Copies of this chain bind each other. A is one copy, B any other.
């Protein structure tokens, strides 16, 4: 009477591969039971989810809808399993996700302050790639994350603001503008000699443009020091001095807010303490 996660996993595999054979291989089962499971799901849900043809399959409208809903549902089931397993395995602990190379001193302050709280538990820090925090929270690999508005999406998460700051341009040290005391946003398109570096969007794709593509903060400083591009970062990134890299504040850049975010329904005591501690740092 009710949809099982097995059926959803099967459907997601087929919807992603658009090929029953490959999907079955990925799932580690034979193709016939997969075909049967999908048609049973279609019967139960009242209509076709896939159009079959001799080269594979394509999604119907209902199939596209189900793909999104099923991914969300499977993430929620995974989260339940992972978080519970974490809670049963000996000492409870919290997992915090943060972008690699961001907010080092803020994070350190939060962790220190939390460790001093009564009843605090061990906090494991996952340093992840750009925009991955949301996914880690959704599938339960993390309990709480540090995000940066407006770059990271907080949709579907609870959050509290921690820190708002301006932004600064990160330029090669020898760049003619690197000695200026400050810049304006309107200066940036005219910045001579170096193109803007390109960060991935939340879906992993890159905007068009001339500059090199980036994945993390380590690459960033290398590329800037080599004079291959520039970028704009929150001012707290200035704290880490890198050779060959200069930072210049941008007076009218939009404020970047570091927020602490967590899945909306989770309200464990250690998590609440961590959030309270973080907001009062």
Contact = CB atoms under 8 A, between A and B. Distances in A.
A72 B80 contact: yes
Contacts of A186: none
Contact of A3 (B69, B71, B80): B80
Contacts of A2: 5-6, 9, 77, 81
Given A4-B5, A77-B8, A65 B47 contact: no
A158 interface: yes
Chain A, interface size category, equals: 35 or more
Interface stretch (A84-92, A176-184, A238-246): A84-92
Contacts of A157: 156
A194 interface: no
A88 B45 contact: yes
A77 B5 contact: yes
Nearest to A157: B156
A71 to B, nearest CB: 8
Contact of A68 (B3, B155, B265): B265
Interface in A94-142: 140
A66 interface: yes
A151 B263 CA distance: 20
A146 interface: no
Given A46-B88, A62-B88, A88-B46, A4 B6 contact: yes
A74 to B, nearest CB: 8
A73 interface: yes
A155 to B, nearest CB: 4
A210 interface: no
9 contacts: A2-B5, A3-B77, A4-B4, A8-B80, A45-B84, A45-B88, A49-B88, A65-B83, A68-B267
